[in-house]
Amino acid sequence: MTTQVDVAIIGAGPTGLCFAKSLAELDLNIVVIDRQTENALAYPAFDGREIALTHHSANLMRTMGLWERIEPDAISALRDARVFNGSSLFSLNISHNQTKQSELGYLVANHHIRKAAYDAVKQSTAITLKTDVQVINITTKAEFAVITLNNGEVIQAKLLIGADSRFSETRRAMGIAADMHDFGKTMLVCVMEHPVSHEHTAWEWFDYGQTLALLPMNGLRSSVVITLAPEEMNRLMKLPEEDFNREVSARFKHRLGAMRLVSTRHAYPLVTAYANRLIGQRFALVGDAAVGMHPVTAHGFNFGLKGVATLSAEIKAAIAAGQDIADENRLLRYEKTHRHDTRPLFIATHAIAKIYSSNSPPARFLRSCALRIGNRIAPFKRAVAGFLADAKLN
């Protein structure tokens, strides 16, 4: 059986679903393909990840009808940010007062975003979900892309989108390489309660031998992120809950008091990816399949949404001009724009991660000096605050 569509999206993660929703009002026939069951998409499980969203990303989610589907008490204000180095109490402080906003951004759990995106997509008659299937072959021709599924179905699409994670099999099937870097670390994420208020301030703590992060949730709860070598992480993941609570409290130097685990624990390998090309013949990459960021800047999904907005704008312009939705010049403009928006921060993030993960004496000295100098330069702090608040993407 062969099905003909305008747009086929491989990957029903939040970026893939958001891209489908961004095109839903364009009188296009859209299909989203994913190996997960529909029940898993409809009721996504907690995965530990809390997503920091800029104001621009929140506005895009409002436009797509996602924001109102998230319960208000599930949205936490991210007002300020502090960056620590080593055991020092000194920090680089980034305040919302350095912007025109009442907060730098928002914090929303990944599973809430996934649920909102799924519900928004299901409401649209223009979008079809094909779940519990796998793609076994992809070819692209001058007229259309051909996707063969393991159930025997063949889909012909005018435009094919790869949105299937930083380890994208679609990207590989299209012959597009990616610069991938495995940091040799594992990242643990969980939610913990603590008696000392976080004051809705995010922490990034480049300690020696570990990196800690704290993302403020409503109430006296925080999303805790700990990055360690795999062997040490395996030990931490297996600790009984009371021992885990004591150890995490100690790792945070008891600055938040006695911390208590209130969620499941989840661990992820720390790997980044940047595709060498973002487009091909009747093909484009979005989300982590295009740019899989290091979490230190918390801009992964923000960049995913920016890519969605940029590519959908090109498609809308193509339709308005009577052009093919996979017009090569339109796709090239998307690639150029998205590289411009993402490449500088991707490179800078790697440099930051390299400097702040090194424990050599020169690196320790440089780390300390950088924070102290940065804290004294008001224009620098305003620029960073503005970037965190709006990501300079609108």
Q: Which segment of 42-51, 184-193, 227-236, 380-389 scores lowest on mean pLDDT? A: 380-389
pLDDT, tens digit (0-9, with 9 covering 90-100), for 43-65: 999 999 999 999 999 999 999 99
| CA separation for the pair 258, 391 (Å, rounded) | 34
Q: Does residue 394 register a pLDDT over 50?
A: no
Please report which confidence band the pLDDT of residue 229 belongs to, taking 50, 70 and 90 as the band edges.
Answer: very high
Is residue 25 within 8 Å of 125, Cβ to Cβ?
A: no
| CA separation for the pair 333, 310 (Å, rounded) | 9
Domain architecture of the chain: domains with CATH: 2-180+270-390 (3.50.50.60)
Is residue 22 within 8 Å of 307, Cβ to Cβ?
A: no
Task: Supply the mean pLDDT for the chain.
Answer: 88
Model's pTM, two decimal places?
Answer: 0.89
Average pLDDT over residues 333-344: 95
**Considering the chain, what percentage of its residues have pLDDT values greater than 90?**
74
Is residue 311 within 8 Å of 326, Cβ to Cβ?
A: no
pLDDT, tens digit (0-9, with 9 covering 90-100), for 143-180: 999 999 999 999 999 999 999 999 999 999 999 999 99
Cα–Cα separations (whole angstroms), residue 73 to 59, 113, 392 = 18, 14, 27
Q: What is the pLDDT of residue 378?
A: 47
Q: What is the pLDDT of residue 361?
A: 57
pLDDT, tens digit (0-9, with 9 covering 90-100), for 238-251: 999 999 999 999 99
Please report which confidence band the pLDDT of residue 346 belongs to, taking 50, 70 and 90 as the band edges.
Answer: confident
DSSP-derived 3-state class of residue 280: strand
pLDDT, tens digit (0-9, with 9 covering 90-100), for 83-138: 777 565 555 666 554 556 667 899 999 999 999 999 999 999 999 999 999 999 99
Q: Kindly state the DSSP code that residue 178 receives in the 8-state scheme.
A: E
pLDDT, tens digit (0-9, with 9 covering 90-100), for 300-320: 899 999 999 999 999 999 999
Q: Does residue 295 register a pLDDT over 80?
A: no
Q: What residues contact 46, with CB distance under 8 A and at least 6 apart?
A: 109, 111, 263, 264
Q: Does residue 359 register a pLDDT over 90?
A: no
pLDDT, tens digit (0-9, with 9 covering 90-100), for 253-275: 999 999 999 999 999 999 999 99
Please report which confidence band the pLDDT of residue 384 belongs to, taking 50, 70 and 90 as the band edges.
Answer: very low
Nearest to 284 by CA among 340, 333, 331, 336: 331
pLDDT, tens digit (0-9, with 9 covering 90-100), for 173-224: 999 999 999 989 999 999 999 999 999 998 888 777 888 999 999 999 999 9
Q: What single string gives the DSSP state of each residue in 301-328? A: HHHHHHHHHHHHHHHHHHHHTT--TT-H
